Structures are given as C-alpha cells and as structure tokens.
Structure 1
Amino acid sequence: MAEIVLFLAIKKIGIALAKGVADQASVQFLKYGTQLLELQSTMGRVASELRVIHDVLCQMDTRNRNNQVYEGWLEEVQKVAHVMEDMVDEYLYLAGQEHDIGCCFFLKKGVKKPRSLLSFNRLAFKVKETEKHLTHLSEIKNRWVTLINNGDTNSSNYIVKRSQDLANISRSLDEEDLVGVDENREKLEHWLAGDDLGCSVIALLGMGGLGKTTLAANVYNKVREKFQCHAWVSISQTYSREDVLRNIIKDVFKDDVSVLSSTMAMDIVCLEEKLKKFLEKQKYLIILDDVWTPEAFDDLSRVVTHNDKGSRLIITTREGHVAALASPGHILTLAALPEDKAWDLFCKKSLSKRYK
C-alpha cells in the first residue's frame, strides 16, 4: 500500500538525518560544509512533504481510490518515494554507514553495491530535483485531482466491494504466508481463551497494510469452532448498518435455513432484536474488521450482549480513538516488521513464485 511505501521512505530519511549519521557525514564531506547542510535541509523538507501525504492517505476516504486520475497521481508519488529511498541509501553509503544502518538491509544481504557512486554534488543536485518534483506533484493534485467525496451509490458500492475483496485476500492467506506474527498471534489467542466470562472487546490497532486483518483472520480460523457461533464482517468507512446486521445473521444462523428465510423481510429494528436475543444465549466470536469511527462501533455493539458466557468481540482499526473502546489492557498495537522479518517476507513473496 502507498502508506507503507511513504512510511519506509520517511523512516529512512529520518535515519540519514539522525545525529550519529550526521556527525559521520560531516567528517566524510568535510570540504562540502555548506552544501552538506543544504542537502540535509532538502532531505528534511522532502520527509515533511511525504509525511503530510502519508497522514492524509491514512485519513482519506477509501472511495478516492476509485478515482483513476488520483490513482495515477499516487503512483507518481510512490515513484518519488522509491527514488528518494535510493538516494538516501547512496548518501548513507558515501557517509560510510552501510554497515550501521539497519534500514538498509539489502546492502548487507549479498546484493552488489553500485559500481559507480554519484559524486556528492551530483547527489545533492538529484535530491534537490526530487524535492522540486514532489512540489510539482502537489501542485498537480491541487489543479487536476478531484477527490471524490459525494457519497453516490456507485462510490459506496465500490468501497464496500473493495474492502470485502481486501479482507477476503487477507483471510485466505496460508500459514506459510505469515511472517513475524508469532508473538501477536500468541497474545491474541491467549486473550480469546481467557477465563473472563464477560464480553471482552479486543482491538488490533495499526496503520493500513500492517496485517491487522491477516492476523485476525489467522486466529479466527483457528479458534472459531471453540465458540458456539461466530461471524466476520467488514465495516470500512462507508457501510450499511442493515447490511452488516444481515451479514452477521447469515454467519451465526448459517445452518438454519428457516431462520435465514424469516429474516429476509425484516426491517433493521427487527433484525437487531432477532440477533440480540440469539446472542444472549451464545458464546460468540465476532470480528468487526476495519472500523473507522467510535460511532460505527456503537451502532453495531448494541446487539452485542454481555452474557457472561466468555464471548469475544475483535475490532481491527487504524484509529487510536476507536481502539480505546477495547476492554482495559486488550489493545494489540501492530508495528512495521523488524529488518530480519521484513527481509524474510520479501524473500518469501518475491522468490517463492520464481522457483516453483
């Protein structure tokens, strides 16, 4: 996802501008004193611009991803981020930091270093040109990229379908596709199997692309049969409360055709009542995937009954104020993979198909 691409570029620039690297660069580029300060300032400005774009993407309505013009613009931004990462790697290499910077893992994994390094002046020029390119892209967005936010039916349908597609992909990943989730998976399984007979609300918190849905799905598939009934629903930023209720009912009553038939003509009030009465007597596990607002959680939690049977409700979200709705001590915050795990995942995904 674009958020991850920008996040990694921002992180790498931050490493390059850290004091230890800056001190080493001052020694290596002693004769370029003024130019070095300007280069570092330029990298800082690029990082600031990327950080703002990243934060906007994290908050932006999913429907904008259906805008072809916007998608083209975002691709260009990602290209800039990749180019900037390459130049920061070059800067770190020239500064003699290739063995000390964890982020530059590929320089330590047997990949050949560049045969010809850019001169300092050439590097500074290219970073400056990258800043200009990024500024130009911002201007293009303001002039031409219309972010769709009118709530029309087509956009809403797209959002729901897109969210469901992404959730289905994450839920279908095999065990061998997962990397670096053992600790989080163990903790989540422990919470689900805990002795608390109340309805524990568990939150998986993290930015888009960190694997919240994948982790939840992996554990859900393992433990759901330990509950009397279970359901998985994708919420997203735009959702139909009635559709969500019907999807939960479809899951929890999956073996009862007569009940499913009787609910087809029910309005939303009757659906809520039907579901609530059923869940009162069940030990249930329900996943609310991709919850964006506390209001969305409140809307759907009305049917969730605290019935002292050890039921569990898991929400995945990228919003801290939504995760705060979880039971005390039941927020699992996902972070980017450490270097070694990221490398393992890269090799697994990029090399497995090649050698099949």
Structure 2
Amino acid sequence: MADSVVAFLLGYLPNLLIDEANFLAGVEDRVKSLIRELRMINIFLKNSLGKRNDEMVKEVVGQIREAAYEAEDVIDKFILEVTEYRKRSTIGRMLDIPSHAKRIRNVGTKIVGINDTISQIFNNRERYGIEGAEASVDAEDETLHRHRRQVEEDDVVGFVDDSAILVKQLTHGDRKLDVISIIGMGGLGKTTLAKKVYNNKIGVMSHFNCRAWVYASQDFRARDLLLQILKQMQIPDGLRRKLEGMSEDELIKELFEYLKEERYLIVMDDIWTTEDWDKIRNAFPDNSKGSRILITSRIKKVALHVSHTLPYDLPFLNEEDSWELFKKRVFRGKTCPVELEIPGRQIAKGCRGLPLSIVVLAGILTNKEKSFHIWSKYVGHVTTFLARDDDICPKILFLSYTDLPMFLKPCFLYFGIFPEDIEIPVRRLMHLWVAEGFIQHNDDRNIEDVAEGYLEELVDRSLIQVASRRIDRGIKTCRIHDLLRDLCIKESAEEKFLEVQSRNNFSTNNSRRLSILGTDGSSTRGYMSSNPSISIYARSLFYFGNDGFSDEDAWTWVHKNFKLVRVLNFEILRIPAMPKSLAKLIHLRYLRMEFSNSLSVFPDCIGNLTNLETLYVKGSLTDRSCLPNGIFRLKRLRNLYLSDRLPLPFIRKKRLSSPWDSKEALGKLEVLSIAFLLYDRQKKSFPVVLGKFPNVRKLKIQFEWCSFDYVWQAPNVFPCLRYLNHLEILRIEDCCMLPTDPNLFPSTITKLTLKSVELEVGGGLTMLGKLPQLRILKLEGRGYKPNRALETQHDISIRVIADSFPQLHVLKLNQMKIKEWKQETGAMPSLIRLIIIECNELISPPELWSLTTLRDVKAIRSSGWARMLRELQKEVGFKLLIQPPIPD
C-alpha cells in the first residue's frame, strides 16, 4: 500500500500548507521539501507496477511505505501538539515557549531525516537494478492457470438454463458477426459454462463448421494466441510449417483470409483488458454467415468494449446445485451416506455458491475419512480450510486483486474491516473511503459520486457483489464473498493496512486500521487487556458486536491508543454520556456512534472536531433537549445523520428575513437527516434550522407527532425549504399537511419520498406535480410507530391532473390505502417504472391507459392492482412482475 500512502500524502500535505499554515509555522519549508521527494518516489512506484513479485522491488516498496507512514505520523502528531499548546492560556503559552521551540526543531529534524531516506531509496533504484527490472511470468503462474482450467472444467453441474440461453445467442439472430460475453467472479464457472456451450453437439457443433478454443489470461500474448487459433484450423501443411516464422501482422492476415469463407466460433477464455482484444480484433472477418466469438472475463468493462450485446452475468450456484456438485466430486457417482447429508449440505452451503470453493473443498474431503466426526469439523469453518496459502483458491482469486489499478486496491482491501456475511450500506462506505483519503478528486464532481464510481468498477470486476439496488437502480447495499474478504484481511496484514481481531485472536502488527469483532463483553475486554498499548498512530478504529462498548476502561484505552485517529465507528455503545475526551481527537473526520440507551449529555465540545466530515449519531436525549450549538462550529461537516430524538439546536427568530447567518452556516454540508424539528409551542417564534445549510443536497425531515397542535408544524417549517437551492433528494415523514404552493419547494428536487404524509388535505399531490425536475416519487403509508396520528389513515382517492409530473421516471406506492386512481391524459408522460407494494384497497380500475412509456411494472402483494395491470399490459406492452402470481 505504499502507493496509496504516498498518493494520500501528496493530496494531504499541500492542503495542510494552505488550511493549517498556522499550525505548521516553522516547518513549512521542510514540508514542501518532503512533497518534492514524495513526487519523485511516486514516479518510481508507478514504474514498478507489474514488478512487485521481485523480492528486491518488494523490499524497496516496503521501505517506502514505512517512510511515508512515518512522515504522516510526524506531521499529524506535531499538529496535535500545536493544538494543545494553543489551547493554553496566554501565560501558559509564554511559559511553554522554550518547549514549543524545541518541538519545532525536533519535527524539522525528523522531516529532514525522512527526506534523506526517501531520496536515498530513489537514488538507489538503478544501483540495485530495480528501474530496469522486467515483469516476468514464471512456471508457477502457468501451473496456476492449468489448475484453474482443470478445476472449472470438471464435473459440470447446473448451468442448464444458462447454457440454453447462450446456445440460442450463438446460433440464432443476426447473421452479422457478434461477440457474446460471459462475466463473473473468478472460480464462478465461466470456463465450465463456456466449455459446455462449446461442446454442445446438437446446437453449436452442428451449426459452426469451424471452431477454436484459446486461453488468454493476464499474460496475454497476441502472437501466441493467433498461433493457437490457426493450429486448430484445417490449413495446408505447408502453411502450418511457416506459421512459427510469421510476424503478428502476418498471422492476423492469414487468419482473416482463412475465416472469411467459414461460419466460425472462436472462444477466448479469460480476457483481462480491452487492449488485448484490440490487438487481435482485425483477425476476425464479418462475413455475414452468422459467425460468433465467445469470451469469458472477470471484468464487465472488457465485455462492454468487445460488443454492444449485453454480457451474460453468471450467477452463483443455488444451494441444491452446490450440494449436487459437492456430492459428485466427493462420492464419484456413489450414494452419500445418510449421516453425512446434513453436514455435507452445510459445508456446500458455506461455499456461498462458488464452484471453485466447492470443488477444492470436496477434493480435500475426498482424501479424508468419510465420517460425521470428520465432516462436522468443517461445518462453519469452510473459509479457513480454503484460504491456506498453498491452496489454489486464494491464488486464483489473487489474480483479480493484482489486476486492480493502484487507486482501487485500498478501496477493495477496506472490505476486510466489515464482519462477514453482512450487507454494507453503500453511502456509509462512500463516506468512509472519503474520510480515509482514498478518493482521488481533481475536478468539480461531487466526491461521493467519484467514490460510487470506484465501487461500480469493483462490481464490474466481479470482486464485489450487489446486494440490493435503489429505486433508481444505483447500488444501495453490497457484500463481499467470504474468500475474497479473507484475501483482503491477509493482504492487509502484510501491508500493515488493517487488521481484524475476533474472539480470542488477540495480536497486533501495528496496522493503520483496527476492526474489533466483539461477540461478548469478555472478547472486547480480552483484546484490550492483551494489548494495553498498541500503535498510537493507528488511523481507524471499528467496533462491531452485540455486547456494547461500555466501561470507562474501554474509553481510556481508545483515547490512549488512537490520538491521531481519523475514523471511529461504534455499532453499539452502552454509556450514559458522550465522552468529552472525544473532543481531543482533532484529526477525526468520520464519527459514527450508535447508542443502545438514552444519552444524558451531548457535550458542546463536539465543535472542537474541526476536521469532522461525517457525523452519525443514533440514540436519544433523556431530557428532550437539543444538540449543542457546537454543531455549528463544524465547518467541514458534509454529512450529518441524527436519529430518534436528537434534534438540532433550537434557534429563535422573529421572522424569516435573511435565510441564514454566514457566520453560523455549515456551508459544506450536503447530507442532512433530522429526526424531527423542534417548534415553539407558544408560536412566538420557530426554528430556522434549514437556513443553516445553504448547500445541502440530501435532506430528511421527520416531524414529531404530539397530542397537541401538531398541525402548526408543517406550514411554518416548509418556508425554510425555499432557500435550499442545491436540494436534490428530499424525504419527509409524519407530516399532516403538505403546502399547496409549489414555490416553497426548490425546483432542483429530483427525488422525493413521502412517508406517513397526508396527501388529500390542501391538494398536496397537485402541488408536487408541478415540480419541474422530479424524476423519482415514493409514497409510503404504513410501517408507523405506535400512537402516531396517521395510524388510522383513511382510504384516499388520487387524482393526477393533466401535464403534471412532466419528468417523472419512477413511481413507487408502498402500503398506501388508495381507493381509486384517476389520471388525466398527459399526466406523467415520461413514466418508465411503476412499483406497487401492498396496496389492496383499490375498488375501481386505475386510469393508467395514457402511460405509453411504461417499460417495467411490479405489483407485490397487491392483487387488485395486479389484475388491472395485466389487462393494461396487453395495451401498452411493458414488462410485468406479479408476486405472488395470481391465477388467470
């Protein structure tokens, strides 16, 4: 991870010189010199890519990583000391002047020493033959590819539907040349499926009179691949003898000439880059005979580059097919003993649908005693047995990691922090990557959008799985396969990038990030007692567990060992008050705290965390007071999530004159989630909290239902929205009345969610139809908490007037008591997706006949809608999914 550390410092240090110039007074020149050295060493790191298997290069890269870590530590620690110095009284600072001068000299000396180390490393690159080292593929790589092919091709199980789809794509359709792609994670069975299709006698073998199969791999050599194809053709012996002496261009010409009269099928297994395809694409003529090329790849970008046809995304095996493959490999056609079926199924299930894992683990158990006693030892520990260093599984999967561009490697390794088998919220992941400094951001795009692009590339490379998607088809949650997570943890340990501690696994290698997976109170206390003093330069601490992080000793340990921390993530906290000592962690950028109990104190000193970018607090205040005004001192805060009775500070204002006071406004805040807004029960004034966030892009407001006068809130709060000129995504919960004036809502809103909101009173829906850029609308009804005013929500009638919702693309209705739906011609002219969930009060057909743009409709547990939509489908022709199915 030397590359990512150096890249981080090259972005971090120049900003420090600008933003924290007063803290670096006395060492600015030394820091500038360090930046120059880092730029030179960054060139070396880029040139050494592809040569990291060389032991000398690996050693030098390790030295660079340590030097970069040391530079980061020296500067961050110095800023911390200067901060403490400046907090003292005037007299205290005067008395400490000699010590402060000594600190400046010491840090200057340390930076000079680091500069000398980096300079020496750079100057020695030629002396040790590092600069001219060439990447090489050794015999071990060839053996690995051979084993991979053998594992994937043996014992075909499943793929019946998959192969049928691909055979049809290859043998039917346009007579022009087409390229078909199979994509998926390493070891998923792409080669197996391609081989099954290639050897299909009835469809494929009889359809194509010329076929060839070649392996590409990461070590792609265009000339060798062309030779392999030509040697499988029926060419004259004289030409065959001349092939070895031909150049690459000559081979392309010969292959083109031979294929132009044939209906051919060429399979290229394991393509890694678009450049590899571009080198050979001119060898394949489009002879209008229905020829096809089939490729397999782990990378979606490659598949999209070679063809306009969408790639076939191979799914994981289901549990039954996993068990069948496991049985076939272990028992070789013999019957599985009854007593082994239960542990056998559990073992197969533990492979998470990855054929490679199943085949390898079955091979291990084939040579073991087939008894319940032996097999039960493997249940629940599948990943442990598959992740041994000498095993083929990690080696095959490691190929995908080594192929990653350098900027994506830390993002991928970061998945090792999270517990296995969990769905990771994408927004949370994006904020963490940004706080860690992983995102290279050099243009005017939103930094989270750039981070989301990083995640999409990891998904396209088949390293990360999409667990769920948002209504706009963006990724909502993701997950990582257990074997890949184990790869992240092992590689990270070697790089001192992160370490994971669980149960009784108490050790430390002074990694920059620590994840504690607590299962009970003793596990957490055991780790802390085993490591009373770990590296004080760790930058991230994660705690996951159901026991809670509670006692004073635990917090003392945190404050002692994580003084330079940038990320703190606590999933469960059992403390009565937020520790005031948190305010000393001045480098903190990301703070997530989920309290299982009520808080008695939320200290105003939270405002001392001036570098904080994301604050997520889940819990409640016992005295119903507000958050402290210190919140408004967090000038770098970009994401603020407050849940369950954690309101913002109460701000009195006689009237809404100016939208905000620039001195108090959080100008960088883009995401704001407010549990509810306080209001003045005497109506003499009301909070103008929204005026404090002029650049907010995403906003959630949850009103508080009270037994008195709750109707007053909505019309007095919504006028604040008009000043949010950058607002794009808005969610409103528990509102008794929407305003009728569309000018109160920013015209920039593109996505709107209304949950437990009264639509009929005042014509709220009519007002929403006038929002010019609204593309996604979600209306949610039930799912309320007890005793809320709208719990007895009555049946409603919806009327959508003509020309309303001009840009609406997606409409979702969830648990709405809609009695009738009337829609005038010309309304919702751009609607593409319609989703209805648990809406069963409909008594007359919805008037949706004018929605000719509909392409995708789902009706989930909404029988009344489902029958009517099925009739509408005959007229409009959209794709319709009904769950559960209803009889004709």
Cα displacement string for residues 21-46 of structure 1 (whole angstroms, at most 9, x for unaligned residues): xxxxxxxxxxxxxxxxxxxxxxxxxx
Equivalent-residue separation in structure 2 for 1:323 and 1:246 (angstroms):
23
User: Which residue of structure 2 lines up, in the alignment, with residue 190 of structure 1?
Assistant: 168
For residue 330 of structure 1, report the CA deviation from its aligned partner.
4.1
Whether the aligned pair in 2 keeps the contact of 1:245 and 1:272 (CA below 8 Å) is yes
2:149 aligned to 167, 186, 193, which one? 167
Gaps of at least 5 residues in structure 1 are 1-59, 68-149
1:212 aligned to 190, 207, 231, which one? 190
Which secondary structure does the structure 1 equivalent of 2:288 belong to? coil
User: Which residue of structure 2 lines up, in the alignment, with residue 296 of structure 1?
Assistant: 276
For residue 163 of structure 1, report the CA deviation from its aligned partner.
2.1
Whether the aligned pair in 2 keeps the contact of 1:224 and 1:285 (CA below 8 Å) is no
User: Which residue of structure 1 lines up, in the alignment, with residue 785 of structure 2?
Assistant: none
Whether the aligned pair in 2 keeps the contact of 1:159 and 1:236 (CA below 8 Å) is no
Find out whether 1:313 has 2:293 as its counterpart.
yes
Equivalent-residue separation in structure 2 for 1:161 and 1:229 (angstroms):
29
1:235 aligned to 190, 194, 216, which one? 216
For residue 258 of structure 1, report the CA deviation from its aligned partner.
2.3
Letter in 1 for 2:252: E
Equivalent-residue separation in structure 2 for 1:353 and 1:326 (angstroms):
41
Give 1 or 2: higher helix fraction: 1
TM-score w.r.t. structure 1 length?
0.53
Letter in 1 for 2:315: A
Which secondary structure does the structure 2 equivalent of 1:346 belong to? helix
Cα displacement string for residues 96-145 of structure 1 (whole angstroms, at most 9, x for unaligned residues): xxxxxxxxxxxxxxxxxxxxxxxxxxxxxxxxxxxxxxxxxxxxxxxxxx
Which secondary structure does the structure 1 equivalent of 2:188 belong to? coil
Whether the aligned pair in 1 keeps the contact of 2:212 and 2:267 (CA below 8 Å) is yes
For residue 329 of structure 1, report the CA deviation from its aligned partner.
3.9
Equivalent-residue separation in structure 1 for 2:134 and 2:332 (angstroms):
41
For residue 221 of structure 1, report the CA deviation from its aligned partner.
1.5
Whether the aligned pair in 1 keeps the contact of 2:183 and 2:311 (CA below 8 Å) is yes
User: Which residue of structure 2 lines up, in the alignment, with residue 244 of structure 1?
Assistant: 225
**Structure 1 residues 329 and 245: CA distance shift in structure 2, 3 A:** closer
Equivalent-residue separation in structure 2 for 1:193 and 1:317 (angstroms):
21
Equivalent-residue separation in structure 1 for 2:150 and 2:232 (angstroms):
15
Pairing of 1:261-280 with structure 2 (within 5 A): 261-280=241-260
Equivalent-residue separation in structure 2 for 1:340 and 1:219 (angstroms):
22
Equivalent-residue separation in structure 2 for 1:350 and 1:314 (angstroms):
31
TM-score w.r.t. structure 2 length?
0.22
For residue 262 of structure 1, report the CA deviation from its aligned partner.
2.4
Pairing of 1:129-140 with structure 2 (within 5 A): none
Letter in 2 for 1:241: A
Equivalent-residue separation in structure 2 for 1:351 and 1:340 (angstroms):
16
Which secondary structure does the structure 2 equivalent of 1:197 belong to? coil
Find out whether 1:352 has 2:343 as its counterpart.
no
Equivalent-residue separation in structure 2 for 1:353 and 1:324 (angstroms):
40
Whether the aligned pair in 2 keeps the contact of 1:275 and 1:303 (CA below 8 Å) is yes
For residue 300 of structure 1, report the CA deviation from its aligned partner.
1.9
User: Which residue of structure 2 lines up, in the alignment, with residue 324 of structure 1?
Assistant: 304
User: Which residue of structure 2 lines up, in the alignment, with residue 43 of structure 1?
Assistant: none
**Structure 1 residues 233 and 164: CA distance shift in structure 2, 3 A:** farther
Whether the aligned pair in 2 keeps the contact of 1:159 and 1:238 (CA below 8 Å) is no
Equivalent-residue separation in structure 1 for 2:149 and 2:205 (angstroms):
17
Letter in 2 for 1:201: V
Equivalent-residue separation in structure 2 for 1:319 and 1:286 (angstroms):
19
For residue 309 of structure 1, report the CA deviation from its aligned partner.
0.8
- Report how many residues are paired: 209
Whether the aligned pair in 2 keeps the contact of 1:198 and 1:306 (CA below 8 Å) is yes
Whether the aligned pair in 1 keeps the contact of 2:157 and 2:321 (CA below 8 Å) is yes
* Percent of paired sites with the same residue: 32
Equivalent-residue separation in structure 2 for 1:161 and 1:276 (angstroms):
32
Give 1 or 2: higher strand fraction: 2
Cα displacement string for residues 297-353 of structure 1 (whole angstroms, at most 9, x for unaligned residues): 111212111111110001100001012135444411112111222122222222327
Letter in 1 for 2:322: A
Letter in 2 for 1:162: L
Pairing of 1:41-120 with structure 2 (within 5 A): none
For residue 354 of structure 1, report the CA deviation from its aligned partner.
6.7
For residue 161 of structure 1, report the CA deviation from its aligned partner.
4.9
Equivalent-residue separation in structure 2 for 1:169 and 1:339 (angstroms):
19
User: Which residue of structure 2 lines up, in the alignment, with residue 108 of structure 1?
Assistant: none
User: Which residue of structure 1 lines up, in the alignment, with residue 313 of structure 2?
Assistant: 333
Letter in 1 for 2:194: A
Equivalent-residue separation in structure 1 for 2:172 and 2:327 (angstroms):
36
Letter in 2 for 1:293: T
1:199 aligned to 177, 180, 192, which one? 177
Cα displacement string for residues 154-201 of structure 1 (whole angstroms, at most 9, x for unaligned residues): x25543453245335544x3xxx2222011000011011113111110
Find out whether 1:224 has 2:205 as its counterpart.
yes
Cα displacement string for residues 229-273 of structure 1 (whole angstroms, at most 9, x for unaligned residues): 1111111111221111100111123x6322211222211121111
Whether the aligned pair in 2 keeps the contact of 1:156 and 1:238 (CA below 8 Å) is no
Equivalent-residue separation in structure 2 for 1:241 and 1:326 (angstroms):
16
Letter in 1 for 2:171: A
Equivalent-residue separation in structure 2 for 1:160 and 1:151 (angstroms):
18
**Structure 1 residues 249 and 168: CA distance shift in structure 2, 3 A:** farther
Equivalent-residue separation in structure 2 for 1:235 and 1:326 (angstroms):
15
Cα displacement string for residues 59-108 of structure 1 (whole angstroms, at most 9, x for unaligned residues): x98x97x99xxxxxxxxxxxxxxxxxxxxxxxxxxxxxxxxxxxxxxxxx
Equivalent-residue separation in structure 2 for 1:320 and 1:270 (angstroms):
31
Equivalent-residue separation in structure 2 for 1:269 and 1:248 (angstroms):
14
Whether the aligned pair in 1 keeps the contact of 2:188 and 2:314 (CA below 8 Å) is yes
**Structure 1 residues 349 and 307: CA distance shift in structure 2, 3 A:** same
**Structure 1 residues 312 and 160: CA distance shift in structure 2, 3 A:** farther
Whether the aligned pair in 2 keeps the contact of 1:288 and 1:314 (CA below 8 Å) is yes
**Structure 1 residues 229 and 165: CA distance shift in structure 2, 3 A:** farther
Gaps of at least 5 residues in structure 2 are 1-48, 56-132, 336-365, 367-888
Equivalent-residue separation in structure 2 for 1:281 and 1:168 (angstroms):
34
Whether the aligned pair in 2 keeps the contact of 1:160 and 1:239 (CA below 8 Å) is no
Equivalent-residue separation in structure 2 for 1:170 and 1:353 (angstroms):
19
Equivalent-residue separation in structure 2 for 1:168 and 1:179 (angstroms):
15
Which secondary structure does the structure 2 equivalent of 1:252 belong to? coil
Letter in 2 for 1:196: D
Which secondary structure does the structure 1 equivalent of 2:305 belong to? coil
Which secondary structure does the structure 1 equivalent of 2:181 belong to? strand
Equivalent-residue separation in structure 2 for 1:274 and 1:205 (angstroms):
30
User: Which residue of structure 2 lines up, in the alignment, with residue 40 of structure 1?
Assistant: none
Letter in 1 for 2:149: A
Whether the aligned pair in 2 keeps the contact of 1:202 and 1:314 (CA below 8 Å) is yes
Letter in 2 for 1:212: K
Whose relative contact order is higher, 1 or 2, with alpha carbons under 8 Å and at least 6 apart? 1
Letter in 1 for 2:247: D
Equivalent-residue separation in structure 2 for 1:320 and 1:350 (angstroms):
34
Which secondary structure does the structure 1 equivalent of 2:211 belong to? strand
